[in-house]
Amino acid sequence: MPKQTLKGISIPSISGIDELVSGDFGELLVSYYLVKKKLHVIVAKSEGFDLLVNDTRGLLFEKDKLIGISVKTRQKRSLCLDLDIASDKLKRATKIWKFIPYFCYVTPCEVIIFPADLAKDSRVKTGANLVSSARLKTIKDKRIIYFQWGIKERISGRKSAWLFEI
């Protein structure tokens, strides 16, 4: 893959925005969002989950409860999630770490954080037994957290810069 230099940083050419959304990027994006909301976040890198979160004010999650989040970023260019294996891993981690289990799906323009029990809800399942992100967005549940994000090129004068937005 040919390299391009952008503002002194060497990066591989990106054939599509999907390749930009990788596991580490998704975890850090979600961590950034939660920290900006004044939640305590640890990037855990453990079997079954990626983030540990504590919401001391009860703003997004149950107050002072430990939340374990499994972040998913790549689903073979699909807007549906196959969570069968991930659900088993998250369930085992829940028993060990004693947290409330959540999943998070990061796509190239939005993030959905939802309780793991919703992954088994028939309202979000497709005919192929996958979790549909579009169906998740239609459910009225205060436990579902949704936000949009993007990276845009901002051109001012003869210089360009990248603008990150949440």
The total number of structural domains that make up the chain: 1
Three-state DSSP state, 6: strand
Range of the domain at 101: 3-165
CATH of the domain at 159: 3.40.1350.10
Q: Is the confidence at residue 146, as pLDDT, over 70?
A: yes
Element (H, E) at 147: strand 145-148
Q: What is the pLDDT of residues 70-95, one digit of tens each?
A: 999 866 667 788 898 999 999 999 99
Model confidence pTM above 0.75: yes
